[in-house]
Structure 1
Amino acid sequence: MNLFRSIKNALHTLDRKSMPESVLEVLNAEEHHGIIITNYFRYLISFFFAVQVIANLDAGDKTTNLIALSIYLLLTVSHTIVIRTCPGSIISIFNYTTLIAEYILILLILLFYTFTTPNVDLGFTLKNPINLFFLFPIIYSLLQFRIRFVFIGLFLFYLFYFTILWFAVSGELTYARHWGEYVSGHAVLLEDIITGKPSLYFCFSVVIAMGIFRTVSMVRRIGIAEGQKTELSRYFSPKIVTEMMENPRTLESGNRQIVSILFLDIRNFTSMSENMDPRELSKLLSEFRNIMMECVFENNGTLDKYIGDAVMATFGTPHPSPSAEVDARNAVGCGVIMQKRLSEWNFLRKSEGKAPISIGIGIHTGEVFAGNIGNELHREYTVIGDSVNTASRIESLCKVLKKSFLISKETMELLGGKYTLNKMPRVKVKGKEEPLQVYEVMWS
């Protein structure tokens, strides 16, 4: 059962349809680079093949081998042209064509030597060192991250080899009695011919296949990790993202903890957006969110979510600071910076003839449940609880009290007098029996 599960997991790892787009993009790019490198190696092999043809063969064999060399060069040059000019689907088809053509070419050279060399039989074909060239297409597969090529190459080798062996055994074949006679003479040692070479090629192919599998698995793991890191960086500060990547279980379970929650909303956004071009509105929201997100991350906060033109951020997630005071001060400090950055952005907008934007910020500190919320189809890390509702109500009070930055009494008590505050009248809000005591943060 474990073996079956391992095989299933391995096949899933290699299944490109199940890979995330980011992983598939990297893998396809590396595969294309591998195809180019393989093509360069074919030119190198062509050079050594040419040297061998010219320097080591007698005059009678040169013509035939020059023909073989020319065919190999033609395949290599054609491959170069296809790589540079054709789409990926054509390149993939040509890879298969080249793989099969190389095996057939090696086979023809083997048979040529067998039938043109005096006083030899098919045992000469089985013992010929040219059989080693069958390994080169398998090696190329490692550069292209294609396990399929490995096993196609191994299948073709077995097909050619055992077909020759069958004809050899059926005909007149001289058998060696020991290894020395086998190595030094034209006789064959049946044990090595039947089991030795086929087993060697099989083991070699498995090692290459495992190398490809490990490489693809590594690329997949790194790609998924980078994708997760990119996704997390949209919500958490870089420092927290690094910690979460080093400890993936950080978000697996939830817990109750003291958190400072910040709500922010653009004032009169509905009426403003009614007269705006959709593209201009999208650009406005994108720029606004980027500015606010940077402020959150600079103060060790977590971007919980965007709700239309509103922003919700938390301070003290996923891990609370050593004390609630730190998170409260980070939250209020973030709100102050948000107002200052908005003022700078509004100055730029006015210079471009655009209307300025005003916001309201509400902050509350209290106990929440923080963790992954949702089901198997959709999960998100967020905080829930009455404290979240309170923070939202305080932000809404900015409209009622005509203020831009309000915090709760609970948050105020954690600031230690660091900020200048203006105590506001107690206000009754929806969902609360007792009126809320809020304070205006004087940030300018």
Structure 2
Amino acid sequence: MNKYRKKAIKKFLLYFFVSIIIAVFSSSIYIFLPKLPDSIDNRLRDTLFNIRGEIPNTDNVIIIDIDEKSLSKLGQWPWQRNKITKILENLTQNEIGLIAFDIVFAEEDNSSPHKIFEEYNIKKENIPNYDLEFAKTVATTPTVLGYIFELEDKEHLAQGSPEIPAIIVERNKQLGVESLIKAHGTILNIPILQNNSYSSGFFNNIPDNSGIVRSVPLVISYDDVIYPSLSLEILRVITQTNKVVVNYDEQGIENISLGDLQIPTDRHGRILVNFRGKEGNFKYYSAIDIYENKIDKKELKGKIALIGTSAAGLLDLRATPFESIYPGVEVHANVIDNIIKGDFIYKASWIDGANITLIFFLSIITVLMITYTAFWFKPIGTIFLLCSFGVFSYYVLFTQGIVLNIFFPLATIIFAAVITTLFDYFYEIKQEEAIKKKFASKVSKEVMDNLLKNIDSNEFQAMEKEVTVFFSDVRGFTNISEQMNDAKKLISYLNQYMEPMSNIITKYEGTIDKYIGDAIMAYWNAPAEVKNHADKAVSASLYQIKELEPLNKKLQEENKPLVDIGIGLNTGLAIVGEMGSSLRSDYTVIGDTINLGARLESLCKYYDSKLNISNFTKEKLEKEYIFRFLDYVKVKGKNRPVEIWQVIDFGNADKVLQEELDLHHKAIELYKNSNFKEALEIFEKLENNENKTNKKIYKIYIKRCKEFMLAPPKDFDGVYKHNTKA
């Protein structure tokens, strides 16, 4: 395993560990301080309800509303019981399915005639008793009464207990598990009503800490006896179930069973209400219209009628996820409709484990996303994760009915994104410092900036890549060093030359590989991509040659040796990357392409050229240059022949130079075609030209032509073999 892969694995493990730490931190708060952000979590879920909007109900439940219209006609509440009796009778005559009161009749009707007669001690037979008449009607109609439990321990609490016409069984309850809501007292209907009713149920609506009703208890414990809610009792009566089973698991209550019907609850026996929408989602009928029997029988037949109030003065208004003012009676309508339709929402007993798993999963995903994406994508990716989890929570809530915690996963995403961004920032600073330290003196600012932008890329891994390699060498440096005979002066002299040459290389986006005494090795297109790298290498080389003139002028003034150089360029595939040992390594290039570049530089002396390039480099050039073909050779150690070209300058040659080059290239073609005699004539003519631009090339070809004329080679292909490096 190479060290780059080890480094990548080390980085992955580091950030993975960071994600685990973040997840453990979030999970710890979730486990040990679960109530802290409950209000925010509930508000987020309320938002999902509002996004979903209203949904239709089953149309099985209607509400008989003691509204402002009814109060204005029948008088202030409480009404005389004979009026309520008439409402029950009218509903029964219209074949109502079941009637339930979201009202408790805790006091006798003081307006009843018999009560008035008693008050004045008047004895007379057959005086109407509205409470008795109401009780008889309750007993002979499908009516379920309501009552209230006192959940706080107060003084002077009523201690009566309602009768339960069903068996309530606790199943799988473990010793020490006490999760039921406990009541301390009751507010019951007056005995004559309570005793004449077939059944009754409590209608306590318990808001959460934020004052919003999101759940309703289906069972409450009082004096070690379990009592059903009004909604649960209505469903029990409808399903004609005689036994209610409260099922437990390790956490508390898991669900409540009515025969084959299972109602999922939280551990305290509360059903989370899947609200159908805003107030009025269920059909409301004014109590006065029922009293006056104005409602079509078809609208009432077989329905469950809840009698309650929406009048503000009667104080039965609640806050729900949809509205801050919502009739309490409609909360019960929602619960009954939920149970009938079966579209429950609930917190399963395993939900804590699921929430913690989500926290860990989202922490890991967020950290890795932030770590391995571009800087501009990080906020987009974070928002995408937040929205994705929102959509996931919505889907799970309204299609599967599972209530996930929303706050902690969202908070984990944000927290993980912030922490990882900060961590990544400091990590990248460290990486940048390492890169700057390694390459600050080797590459141009543009290349450095590109490396830092792609700090997490594979730029430093060993790979095969096309490069243009550069070698330069000071001519006659041995003599120069002998002349100076002072190490400090020699180093100063070399630095005086190296400084401008190095600046030119980095200016044209080259990477300086190393200084080898008086020689410079550099390359283009590594570690970062360099567009038109061959052109930039040639441009840098020509400008170095041009820089020699002002440099030599200054050296002459300082009475120092003048500088002359040779440069070789080659383009091709090479192995690039950081190489060395674990103790010391360097980013460099190796391969045949590099070796050929070095040979081309050493052949500058042979051909009297300052800049030699291969045909591989020439083929990559896009700008205009003045070229002279030098030779078609096999260099030492290579079997594949290569063309060597001299680059004289930028642009196009002047007339005199162009004429010389045209003649030279004509002679070269004759030479390649074995027309040595004709080639010799042209080479001799060029050699005798006083304005010739190369003093040695023509001598080389004159000598070859004469030798080949004396001993013509067989199957001549124009290739000359160099048996030495220079």
User: How high is the TM-score relative to the length of structure 2?
Assistant: 0.30
Q: Which has the larger radius of gyration?
A: 2
Structure number having the greater strand percentage: 2
